[in-house]
Amino acid sequence: RLGIGYNRAASLVERVSAPVTAAGHELYVTPSVGVSIFPNDGQDVHTLLRHADMAMYQAKASGRRCYRVFSSAMERAAAEKLELEAAMRRSLEREEFMVHYQPQVCLNSGRVVGVEALLRWNQPQMGFVLPGRFIPLAEDTGLIVPIGEWVLQAAAAQQQRWRARGLPQVRIAANVSARQFWQGAVVGTVRQLLARGLLSRGSLEIEVTESAVMRDVAQTARLLEALRELGVVITVDDFGTGYSSLAYLRQLPLQKLKIDQSFVHEIGVAPGADRLVRQIIDLAHAMGMTVVSEGIESAEQLRLLQAWGCDEGQGHYFARALRAE
Ligand code: C2E
Ligand code: MG
Ligand code: MG
């Protein structure tokens, strides 16, 4: 009986997906189907529907035009997500997030020229939660906007403390996620920090990913231009892992390109990797951009990157992300 049910779901998806012609136009519908089965997945209509709904969202998340069958693992995952989200909200209120700083080194002089601000979350009950786990969820739920704001403010405050202690000024690079960028509040925040004297011009760098800026050229250019006018350096993070159009990148006011660590790790290991990294460096220079390599772990990687003219570097070879002190 279950087999027949799944076949029906599959054929339903197929039939609904077929194009329909209406008034000379071809119209497409993309169905996502969630299945729950009585009595295992629920004893009453309400529960069955709720579980089918959960399965449907899973179908959507899997790229749509498919069906998914409810499982108790789905419910557990959903509950975990809710818990994590609630914990993030609490931690934001109680200031339980922290920022660690990873040095960025000029490969010519060997000097530390900047630091990347990396978010750290030590949740009282769950312990240390990795950004790879909570950042995507923060993006999904929109919490990344207030969290990202907080990071910018924390970074500015830290810079002030360093300045007050008479330490040389280093630029702080903060990661700005797509959602935070598009929401547009970053410009306002930076303007405010500058106006209140909490940030000095040229001391902030913003890292955006290719996919974040590859959406709407006019709007992206406007936002980036506004940031640049405020003296913010703009870097494309994780270069090479997303989709970018070179024609498009050239039109944007981007000053730096950060080669993704997956390429750096393959230097001297994977065939062709060296040539690829070299060419990314040349390409960035041809577009008038500074090049940073992230994830440098060995002296050999460093030596080659220096030989290829890479401008700056960051990675465990120099230092991990550290507490401000
Ligand atoms: P990312 O911006 O590409 O940051 C680089 C990541 O590589 C960091 O991981 C860093 O600790 C790690 N890393 C640095 N050097 C090395 C190395 O030599 N070897 C290896 N294996 N790894 C190295 P982390 O801190 O876990 O952050 C992961 C990602 O989370 C970041 O990737 C960034 O996309 C995101 N993230 C972190 N903080 C923030 C934030 O404040 N806001 C937003 N929107 N995203 C953040
Ligand atoms: Mg980054
Ligand atoms: Mg990166």
Distance CA(149)–CA(163), nearest Å, equals 21
Task: For residue 315, give the DSSP letter.
Answer: S
What pLDDT sits at residue 156?
A: 95
Write the CA distances from 282 to 255, 263, 311, integer angstroms: 14, 15, 11
**Residue with the nearest Cα to atom 45 of ligand 1?**
175
Alpha helices in the chain (DSSP H): 2-17, 45-61, 72-93, 131-141, 144-164, 178-183, 185-195, 210-213, 217-229, 246-251, 261-265, 273-286, 299-307
Q: Is the CB of 48 under 6 A from ligand 1?
A: no
State both tokens at 255: 């000053």
Q: Is the CB of 81 under 6 A from ligand 1?
A: no
Q: ∠86-135-59 over CA atoms, to 5°?
A: 85
What pLDDT sits at residue 3?
A: 65
* Residue pLDDT, tens place only, 205-250: 999 998 888 888 888 999 999 999 999 999 999 998 888 888 888 8
Q: Is the CB of 135 under 6 A from ligand 1?
A: yes
Q: Is the CB of 301 under 6 A from ligand 1?
A: no
3-state secondary structure 105-168: EECCCCCEEEEEEEEEEEECCCEEECHHHHHHHHHHHCCHHHHHHHHHHHHHHHHHHHHHCCCC
Task: For residue 322, give the DSSP letter.
Answer: B
Look-up: residue for tokens 């931690």?
91
Look-up: residue for tokens 């910018």?
152
Contact 48, 41 (CB under 8 A): yes
Distance CA(164)–CA(39), nearest Å, equals 67
Mean pLDDT (10-residue bins), the chain, 325 residues: 74 92 92 94 96 94 92 92 93 94 97 97 91 92 94 95 93 94 90 93 94 86 95 95 85 95 95 95 96 98 98 98 96
CA of 177 to the centre of ligand 3 (A): 12
What pLDDT sits at residue 226?
A: 95
CA of 13 to the centre of ligand 2 (A): 40
What pLDDT sits at residue 4?
A: 66
Ligand 1 mutation target, pool 140, 150, 175, 206, most atoms within 8 A of CB: 175
CA of 143 to the centre of ligand 3 (A): 21
What pLDDT sits at residue 72?
A: 93
Supply the mean pLDDT for the chain. Answer: 93
What pLDDT sits at residue 284?
A: 96
Which residues make up the environment of ion ligand 2, defined by Cβ < 5 Å? 175, 207, 237
* Residue pLDDT, tens place only, 258-307: 999 999 999 999 889 999 999 999 999 999 999 999 999 999 999 999 99
Q: Is the CB of 175 under 6 A from ligand 1?
A: yes
Distance CA(229)–CA(233), nearest Å, equals 10
Distance CA(57)–CA(201), nearest Å, equals 45
pTM for this predicted structure: 0.87
Q: Is the CB of 152 under 6 A from ligand 1?
A: no
Distance CA(268)–CA(70), nearest Å, equals 46
Look-up: residue for tokens 């030596």?
303
CA of 204 to the centre of ligand 2 (A): 13
What pLDDT sits at residue 215?
A: 81
Contact 30, 64 (CB under 8 A): yes
Percent share of the chain, pLDDT over 70: 98
